[in-house]
């Protein structure tokens, strides 16, 4: 996996801070969420409205924005249709909503509970929830990426013993 450019490093830092903020509230798998963020947002290049996961608008969300979407594949030209996505106050809120949706998705949530109970680690969770061929390996490679590991370790909370 290639080295990150300065923009991507800065975006990664924001994603790590969002994951830390998420973990301050709930024990969701932070490194896996960062890896999913990297794939979904192309390392921070595609996250309008602080919504890298393209979470649809929902009642009482912070804001709503419209993104154009076509109805067809590359072979036929289709008229664009209106699609509305949530806008988040910050990336931490997007991470929290994304993981809350994942935990409650049928077919996915039992794997999260195995993770919460310490039966599996984040890499195994990635293998179990990957939705496309090769996706688990890509997610794991991102989680193990030296710059991701460095950014994660650099922001680790300090532990002081009394």
Tens-digit pLDDT profile for residues 37-51 = 999 999 999 999 999
In the chain, where the domains are located:
6-47+89-154
The Cα 4–Cα 80 span in angstroms is: 34
pLDDT of amino acid 158: 62
pLDDT of amino acid 143: 96
pLDDT of amino acid 76: 53
In the chain, which stretches have pLDDT less than 50?
Answer: 71-73
Strand (E) or helix (H) holding 83: strand 80-87
- Those residues with Cβ within 8 angstroms of residue 52's Cβ, 6 or more apart along the chain or in another chain: 37, 40, 41, 44, 46, 91, 94
pLDDT of amino acid 107: 74
Strand (E) or helix (H) holding 162: none
pLDDT of amino acid 79: 61
Please calculate the CA angle 75-79-81 and round it to the nearest 5 degrees. Answer: 120
Look-up: residue for tokens 């890298």?
52
If we measure between CA atoms, which residue out of 125, 145, 146, 144 comes closest to residue 136? 125
pLDDT of amino acid 30: 94
pLDDT of amino acid 67: 74
pLDDT of amino acid 151: 96
Architecture per CATH, domain 6-47+89-154, reads as Orthogonal Bundle (1.10)
The Cα 22–Cα 103 span in angstroms is: 14
Q: What is the pTM of this model?
A: 0.85
The answer to whether 123 touches 35, Cβ cutoff 8 Å, is no
pLDDT of amino acid 80: 64
């Amino acid at each position: 996996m290639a080295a990150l450019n300065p923009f991507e490093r800065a975006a990664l830092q924001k994603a790590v801070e969002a994951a830390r903020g998420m973990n301050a509230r709930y024990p969701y798998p932070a490194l896996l969420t960062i890896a999913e963020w990297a794939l979904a947002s192309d390392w921070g290049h595609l996250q309008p409205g602080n919504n890298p996961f393209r979470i649809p608008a929902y009642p009482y969300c912070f804001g709503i924005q419209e993104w154009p979407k076509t109805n067809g594949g590359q072979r036929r030209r289709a008229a664009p249709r209106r699609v509305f996505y949530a806008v988040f106050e910050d990336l931490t809120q997007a991470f929290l909503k994304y993981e809350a949706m994942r935990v409650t998705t049928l077919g996915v949530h039992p794997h999260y509970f195995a993770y919460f109970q310490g039966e599996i680690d984040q890499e195994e969770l990635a293998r179990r929830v990957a939705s496309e061929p090769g996706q688990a390996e890509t997610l794991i490679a991102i989680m193990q990426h030296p710059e991701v590991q460095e950014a994660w370790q650099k922001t680790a909370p300090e532990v002081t013993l009394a």
